[in-house]
Amino acid sequence: MIRQPWGWFSLLLVVFLAFLAPWASAQDGAIKLADGVYGIKGGRGGEAINTGFVVGDRGVFVYSCEIGDYDRRVQAIQSVAGGKLIRFVANGHYAGDDTLCNHLFAEQGALVLGSKELARQLLPYWPKRMEEELKQGKIKKEYLEGKKVEMAMPVITFDDKITLDLGSHLVELIFVGKAHTPDNTIAWLPKEKVLFVNDLLFVELHPTADGRSDIANWQRILRQLASWSPVTVVPGHGVFAPGNGAKPLLEMDRYFDTMRARIKTMKDAGRSLDDIKKGIRAELGEFAKWPRERAIPGTTEQFYRELSTSR
């Protein structure tokens, strides 16, 4: 008779995995924000893009997904989707960390929805970005090779707003205009008061603003969104938790107010842009220690430009 040591091994493995499972779901899985509404935290020490998704009666809606983390995110979605398919996909803006999963979802039958401005930005950008990713070789080749921008582009476009009726949930996709980039779009669940804002919000991280941005408009949008009194806000980057409310939006507004005031003072004192870029971080007080300090010079330049144009 042949013994089966693998039988014991498998049993041990199952017991081990059973103990591991709750830990894994807390670290890697879907975070429940409301009934059927979830967020997935980005990796890389929390700096990578967060995903928001809704499991509705009529299928799953996904907002923002990083292709390098596609497998984990799809797993997290499936773990709570109860067999429902991913049917709708939208992006906060055209950047690769947000849009490079679109074609993978579309190949499985999902419809990509996006503002006309997002479509305008994405069309020339996507093929170049995919080529770069292929060269870098960090992402599974089968996710990149032979893929066409047509699959990533929105199938249904809108000017200002489109409402998705998932039966159990309403999701309003709202084009808010130029802020971080010219094409920022949020997803708002009016019943649950949950807001997915993508890169309009970086939490406790220096945000990226540059020549594509309009920071003054960005701040108006932040204050407007805060006035809707969201129960939970999922930022593009940085930490979030159920019930975090409008506070992080107002914090971002205060960050920009602080930075603009300090830059204006230095500019009015006749200091050069280069000089201001070197000195600004030390002037940011409570915000100075935030990670992502690489974003500070670009934001400083953009503030300098906005301060130099009469608006």
Identify which of residues 198 and 219 has a Cβ nearer to Zn ion in the complex.
198
Distance between CA atoms of residues 40 and 53, nearest Å: 8
Find the shortest distance in angstroms from Cβ 195 to Zn ion: 16
Identify which of residues 154 and 236 has a Cβ nearer to Zn ion in the complex.
236
Residues 6+ positions from 28 with CB-CB distance below 8 Å: 72, 75, 76
Identify which of residues 36 and 236 has a Cβ nearer to Zn ion in the complex.
236
Burial 256-271 (b: 16+ CB within 10 A, else e): bebbbebbeebbeeee
Find the shortest distance in angstroms from Cβ 237 to Zn ion: 6
133 binds Zn ion (CB under 5 A): no
Work out which of 133, 199, 204, 214 binds Zn ion, going by CB under 5 A.
199
- CA dihedral angle for residue 119, residue 230, residue 69, residue 130, rounded to 10 degrees: 10
Identify which of residues 64 and 219 has a Cβ nearer to Zn ion in the complex.
64
137 near 149, Cβ under 8 Å? no
Identify which of residues 208 and 300 has a Cβ nearer to Zn ion in the complex.
208
Give the DSSP letter string of 111-153: EEEEEHHHHHHHHHHHHHHHHHHHHHT-S-GGGTTT--HHHHS
CA 157 to chain centre: 20
Find the shortest distance in angstroms from Cβ 41 to Zn ion: 14
Show the binding pattern over residues 90-129: x = contacts Zn ion (CB under 5 A), - = does not.
-------x--------------------------------
- CA R_g for the chain: 21
Query: What is the size of the binding site for Zn ion (CB under 5 A)?
Result: 4
204 binds Zn ion (CB under 5 A): no
214 binds Zn ion (CB under 5 A): no
What residues line the site for Zn ion (CB under 5 A)?
A: 49, 97, 199, 236
